[in-house]
Amino acid sequence: MSEVHVHRVKDEWKKDALIDAATYEKWYQDSITDPEGFWREHGKRIDWFTPYTKVKNTSYEGDVSIKWFEDGVSNVCHNCVDRHLEKRGDQTAIIWEGDDPADDKKITYHELHEQVSKLGNVLKSNGVKKGDRVTIYMPMIPEAAYAMLACARIGAVHSVVFGGFSPDSLAGRIEDCKSDFVITADEGLRGGKKVPLKANTDKAIEIAEKAGAKVRNVLVVKRTGADVNWVDGRDLAYEAEMEKASAECEPEKMNAEDPLFILYTSGSTGKPKGVLHTTGGYLVYASMTHQYVFDYHEGDVYWCTADVGWVTGHSYIVYGPLANGAITLMFEGVPNYPDAGRCWDVVDKHKVNIFYTAPTAIRALMGAGDDYVKRASRSSLRVLGSVGEPINPEAWEWYYKVVGDEKSPIVDTWWQTETGGILITPLPGAIDLKAGSATKPFFGVQPQLVDNEGGVLEGAASGNLCIVDSWPGQMRTVYGDHERFIQTYFSTYKGKYFTGDGCRRDEDGYYWITGRVDDVLNVSGHRMGTAEVESALVAHPKVSEAAVVGYPHDVKGQGIYCYVTLMAGEEGSEELKKELVAHVRSEIGPIASPDKIQFAPGLPKTRSGKIMRRILRKIAEDDPKALGDTSTLADPAVVDDLVNNRQNKK
């Protein structure tokens, strides 16, 4: 193993930090020995119309039931908007930075209140009721945040679908949660390129309706002004609807356990799952982690570069920061447009204090050279964050030294769509850093490492990462399929939440996430099931069978390596490879583009027909010497062909 770089908490980071080392230790102990008392206190950080008397009612056994603050009544939009009006109504809530560097605007809390209230009324007057599912398929424009908050305000449940997903993927998500209202834009704009969101929506609705879904309305925001197809009676122009709407819209009284949103995410098998988060616990957890992990102080400018289509955008662009009355920056573009210095230019332009991004972006920008960084002063930066995949120590050190000038701590935050908020992370003023480690658990989080048989590992060890007790931000169910929730997360290791990640704990009790131990890929921080890519490939008429594995990729973290067996009589060619790449992109979206395709006359299978992925992974990693025992294969000879024709030979 490479040498571990330890960076002690500096005096400047301790100064004014919200949490120091002693407070971290004390609060952490309290949160574990008396979760009820700890969260009874911290649940008060949000406003409740009716205060809760019950705090924690959770069980990982049997039917698995997770309830927090269950008799409390609140509203997420009230907490993110209305409650700030008196104290900071004229303060900026959202700084929007457009794709074009000349395009930006600021939205105050007063303006945000007006917009979300009007939009809440637009939704209501078009028949959206409490509990209805609204699909949001939007570019990174303020209207995306308004849409989420307006749903929360009227008690509708939003399902945000990343704007990079294909019509097919969007259709599947509309169908699964029986959503009959879609909010989109004419087109998106990213890196100077247009994304045909309305056209994709039209196609998706056609696909979904063939499968029995019914979409009543599509509300279309004008972003580029492109001429788009219009279905009279179904499509509604956002601007015209907002014009008519009143700005008085009382936030709905929501029980703490009423659903707030559904967000689809990939697992090792089957279709993406609708992860369901609820109102009270989610907001308490998102806001508390946002404040302490980023050491957020009043007036700080905070920028998370994620897209609202992912959970990071939900918890750390919209809900966490706005619940804290923060100034949150929303960026429409990409880090390398117009050039690789964009992020640092934006940091200077808006005096960003806290910057949160993904390792894949850090590696890509590192590759572009230091000059892009150095042309900006970055003097406003105080805290840097990382999320989405393991960060390699080289990228960590570059981020720390070159971007942060060794002045800003890096919080490497480990969490998942399912966890609602950050679970393992340093706190800037409290926890010494080790490059590449997510360090220590947040308050209330009890990680445990187990071996493959479920045996608990103590002390320094490597194993499968479980969490032994609930925290308020935890998902409550898989939408419409509670059995799948139990099976996926609580059946591998009875009575524990299994994360799907492998992890090492060192002698100091620091956690080092090593990546997924299941068939989930993490490509540029985007989570994807190998089964999803495989089913996209076999949907192509020339493909008879496919097996997909990940392999280490310098920038993306993992690349997508596809073994494809063609139908009898079909020939593999470079042309066909291109066709298959295009096919996967159109089935799932560009994020699922295969990096390597190998035509394979046969796949290594056991005698019972199970594909031996271990072997495919080793070949994809260009490590054929480590294939191990192949004698249990039905036809060991297929391996030689695969090894000889591997696409990753160094």
Shortest Cβ distance from residue 265 to ligand PRX (Å)? 5
d(CA 353, CA 297): 10
Is 142 or 385 the residue whose CB approaches ligand PRX more closely? 385
- Annotated ligand binding at 524? The verdict is yes
Please give the C-alpha separations between residue 397 and each of 168, 363, 412, in angstroms, as whole numbers.
40, 11, 12
- Annotated ligand binding at 416? The verdict is yes
Which H or E element spans position 384?
Answer: strand 383-387
Which H or E element spans position 449?
Answer: strand 447-450
Is 99 or 389 the residue whose CB approaches ligand PRX more closely? 389
- Annotated ligand binding at 417? The verdict is yes
d(CA 568, CA 532): 23
Distance in Å from the first CA to the final CA of the chain? 22
- Annotated ligand binding at 540? The verdict is yes
- Annotated ligand binding at 39? The verdict is no
d(CA 397, CA 390): 14
Shortest Cβ distance from residue 139 to ligand PRX (Å)? 20
Is 309 or 572 the residue whose CB approaches ligand PRX more closely? 309
- Annotated ligand binding at 527? The verdict is yes
Is 542 or 613 the residue whose CB approaches ligand PRX more closely? 613
Is 381 or 424 the residue whose CB approaches ligand PRX more closely? 424
- Annotated ligand binding at 101? The verdict is no
Shortest Cβ distance from residue 90 to ligand PRX (Å)? 33
Shortest Cβ distance from residue 390 to ligand PRX (Å)? 4
Is 196 or 515 the residue whose CB approaches ligand PRX more closely? 515
Is 412 or 595 the residue whose CB approaches ligand PRX more closely? 412
- Annotated ligand binding at 115? The verdict is no
d(CA 391, CA 368): 18
Contact 459, 448 (CB under 8 A): no
Residue in the shown chain whose Cβ atom is closest to ligand PRX: 417
- Annotated ligand binding at 414? The verdict is yes
Is 251 or 321 the residue whose CB approaches ligand PRX more closely? 321
d(CA 273, CA 481): 9
- Annotated ligand binding at 336? The verdict is yes
CB atoms within 10 A of CB 586: 13
Give the closest residue to 245 by CA, choosing from 214, 219, 215.
Answer: 219
d(CA 641, CA 545): 16
- Annotated ligand binding at 501? The verdict is yes
Which residues of this chain interact with ligand PRX, rule CB under 6 A?
Answer: 265, 311-312, 387-390, 412-417, 438, 499-501, 513, 515-516, 522, 527
Is 111 or 506 the residue whose CB approaches ligand PRX more closely? 506
Shortest Cβ distance from residue 291 to ligand PRX (Å)? 18
Shortest Cβ distance from residue 475 to ligand PRX (Å)? 10
**Interacting residues of 490 by C-beta distance below 8 A, sequence separation 6+:** 60, 64, 496, 497, 498
Q: Is the dihedral of CA 350, 351, 357, 362 positive or negative?
A: positive
Shortest Cβ distance from residue 330 to ligand PRX (Å)? 17
Backbone angles phi, psi at 480, to 5 degrees: 75, 5
Angle, alpha carbons 447-507-293 (nearest 5°) = 50
**Interacting residues of 488 by C-beta distance below 8 A, sequence separation 6+:** 267, 273, 478
- Annotated ligand binding at 83? The verdict is no
- Annotated ligand binding at 135? The verdict is no
d(CA 407, CA 377): 13
Shortest Cβ distance from residue 33 to ligand PRX (Å)? 27
**Token pair for residue 14?**
């301790």
Shortest Cβ distance from residue 500 to ligand PRX (Å)? 6
d(CA 399, CA 391): 10
- Annotated ligand binding at 193? The verdict is yes
Shortest Cβ distance from residue 387 to ligand PRX (Å)? 5
Contact 139, 189 (CB under 8 A): yes
DSSP-assigned states of every residue in 103-117 = -EEEEEHHHHHHHHH
d(CA 78, CA 153): 7
Shortest Cβ distance from residue 69 to ligand PRX (Å)? 23
The owner of tokens 């959206």 is 128
Shortest Cβ distance from residue 466 to ligand PRX (Å)? 12
Is 202 or 532 the residue whose CB approaches ligand PRX more closely? 532
Look at residue 43 and give its three-state secondary structure. Answer: helix
Edge-first strand listing for the sheet containing 273-278? 235-237, 217-221, 181-185, 133-137, 157-160, 259-265, 273-278, 477-478
**Token pair for residue 418?**
């399912």
**Token pair for residue 142?**
């303020």
- Annotated ligand binding at 516? The verdict is yes
Is 327 or 438 the residue whose CB approaches ligand PRX more closely? 438
Is 119 or 263 the residue whose CB approaches ligand PRX more closely? 263
Residues paired with 188 in a beta bridge: 195
Residues in binding site for CoA: 190-193, 312, 336, 524, 585
Residues in binding site for ATP: 388-390, 412-417, 501, 516, 527
Residues in binding site: 190-193, 312, 336, 388-390, 412-417, 501, 516, 524, 527, 538, 540, 543, 585
Residues in binding site for Mg(2+): 538, 540, 543
